Amino acid sequence: MIGLFCAFLLNSCQYDWIEPVEPALPDVVSFSAHLLPVFNRSCNSAGCHATGGVAPDLTPANAFNDLFARNQIDLATPENSKLYTKCAPGGSMNKYCLPGDWDIMLKWIQQGAQNN
Amino acid sequence: MKKVILLVAFSITWVFFLTAQDSGTDQKPVNSNRSLLGYFILEDSRPIRNPYESGILIDNQTNVIPTAKTLEFVIQHRFGSLENGFSDFLGIYGAANTRLALNYSITDWAQVGFGTTKNYKLQDFSAKINILKQSRDKKSPVDVTYYGNWAIDARDKDFFGEDYQFSSRFSFFNELLITRQFTDWLTLSAGGSFSHFNAVDTLVDQHDHDKIALHFLGRVKFSPQSSIIINFDLPLQIDGLNSRSDLSSHYNFGIGYEVATATHAFQIFAGTGTYLVPQYNVMKNDKEFFKGTGNIFLGFNITRLWSF
């Protein structure tokens, strides 16, 4: 068994590059349909950005108001919005986001960051 | 070249592992040097007492393997960064990472283990071998220890691109560590490691597939139970090993306080490494300790031993 395991490990080394799959962006990004699922999946589920946890509160009931209350949205320069920069490659929360999440966030801010 | 390094590293791991299993039932010579080579070349030499209090020191493994048939439970925790000061209580209310692990000593010089980590949902299998132990009669001036692991990233397969393969989740770490206890109160270690990631995300990851790193550890004991501990990892940029020249490496530094009893060790420290699995610290760390509070994280390690 161990010999088989060794053989398995020796043949396990690869040099692959992952080309990210970026989902097609919707024409109109909806806060409830596109952003809240991201928050629920990656931000508030482990109690981090949940009510009483780390700011901003990204639970469905509070996310929209708290993003503005804590200056996470920069409507004048959407690329500088903390919501986007934290999730995008190089951001401290990037490891919790899936490829494409940051594009959805950016487009939502570019479209005026509506509570739609 | 890469394949040769990998082949040698894995061969060492599993030859030692096999040997460890085979000889696990052998009668141990009285006063033997409890290490792999110690059985053969240092039969009458007694090893020094453990130069560290636990098998882990901040972000690195030490040479310590508890006596045979001992189960070691490890809790590693890293809080958020100090960046927000007391608004999130020095990161204690911030995003944290945690690893829980169980390690079992098959013999006095071979240990296998399994751990699970929050970030990246890592599941890691490890092996540690004491190749040589520092002896009291100075026949062996140093400890030589091998540590290797195999980690599996258990996140959703969407993270691994369109051409998903299960093996894209794998990463490996192989390290040789040399340790010397200079006095009762001073122990230093230096080691070299080879890390490998099977798959690298071209958009998200700021690293290549392979990395060689140097590791330095130290302990200054200032009371029977208390020590100052230091950890320093230095990933090396080696042109022949990297296909991407646009990447840079960052050192990992940590310093802290350790208090230990016969069956427990508790370490609390400030450092830059938050990934808890060594190849992830070597590859992915982008923090440097002396470049602001956003790069420093409080953390602790707890180990508990049970003998059977």
Residue B33 lies in a domain: no
Burial class (CB in 10 A: 0-12, 13-18, 19+), A14: middle
Closest-CA residue of A relative to B155 is: A96
Higher-pLDDT residue of B30 and B282 is B282
Any domain includes B19: no
Name beta bridge partners: B235: B213
Cβ-based contacts under 8 A for chains A and B: 87
Q: Does B216 touch chain A (CB under 8 A)?
A: no
CA distance B188 to chain A (A): 32
Q: Give dist(CA B70, CA B45) in Å, integer.
A: 23
**For residue range B125-166, what is the model confidence (pLDDT) as tens digits?**
999 999 998 988 888 899 999 999 999 999 888 778 778 889
pLDDT-derived band at A106, boundaries 50, 70, 90: very high
What pTM does this model have? 0.78
Residue B11 covered by a domain: no
DSSP B202-240: TTT--S-SEEEEEEEEEEEE-SSSEEEEEEEEEEE--GG
Query: A16 — contact with chain B (CB < 8 Å)?
Result: yes
Question: A interface mutation test: which of B98, B198, B281, B284 has the most A CBs within 10 A?
Answer: B198
- Chain A residues with beta carbon closer than 8 angstroms to that of B159: 18, 98-99
Q: Which DSSP symbol is given to A52? A: T
Contact present, B114 and B101 (Cβ < 8 Å): yes
User: Does B188 fall in a domain?
Assistant: yes
In a domain, B41, yes or no: no
Domain holding B74: CATH number? 2.40.160.40
3-class SS at B68? coil
Compare CB distances from A10 to B7, B160, B199 and report the shortest one's residue: B7
* Cα angle value B257/B263/B267 (rounded, 5°): 15
The whole-angstrom distance between residue B157's C-alpha and the CA centroid of its chain comes to 27
What is each CA distance from B195 to A18, B138, B208, B214, in whole angstroms? 18, 33, 10, 11
Query: Is residue B211 included in any domain, yes or no?
Result: yes
With H, G, I as helix, E, B as strand and everything else as coil, classify residue B171. Answer: strand
The partner residue sitting opposite A54, judged by closest CB among B2, B95, B165, is B95
Give the nearest chain A residue to B7 (CA atoms). Answer: A10
DSSP B94: S
Q: Which of B3, B118, B161 shows the shortest C-beta gap to A20?
A: B161
Residue B241: pLDDT band (50, 70, 90) is confident
pLDDT(B4) > 50: no
* pLDDT tens, residue by residue, B186-200: 999 999 999 999 998
Contact of B302 with B264, CB cutoff 8 Å = yes
Query: Which run of H or E residues covers position A9?
Result: helix A2-10
Kindly state whether residue B84 falls inside one of the protein's structural domains.
yes
For B119, the domain range is: 48-307
pLDDT in tens, A17-72: 887 666 678 899 999 999 998 898 888 876 678 887 778 999 899 999 999 999 99
**Chain A residues 43-82 with CB within 8 Å of chain B:** 46, 48, 53-55
For strands B199-201 and A16-18, give the pairing: parallel
Position A81 pLDDT exceeds 80: yes
Mutation target for B interface from A15, A45, A85: give the one with most B CBs within 10 A.
Answer: A15
Judged by DSSP in three states, B8 sits in helix
Could you tell me which chain B residue has the CA closest to the CA of A48?
A: B95
In a domain, residue B43? The reply is no
- When divided into structural domains, chain B yields a total of 1
Q: How far is CA B86 from the centre of its chain?
A: 31
Say how far apart CA A108 and CA A96 lie, in whole Å: 19
Whole-complex ipTM = 0.71
Is pLDDT at B48 greater than 90 in this prediction? no
Question: For residue A6, which residues of chain B lie inside 8 Å, CB to CB?
Answer: 10, 14
Given an 8 Å threshold on Cβ–Cβ distance, is A48 in contact with B202? no
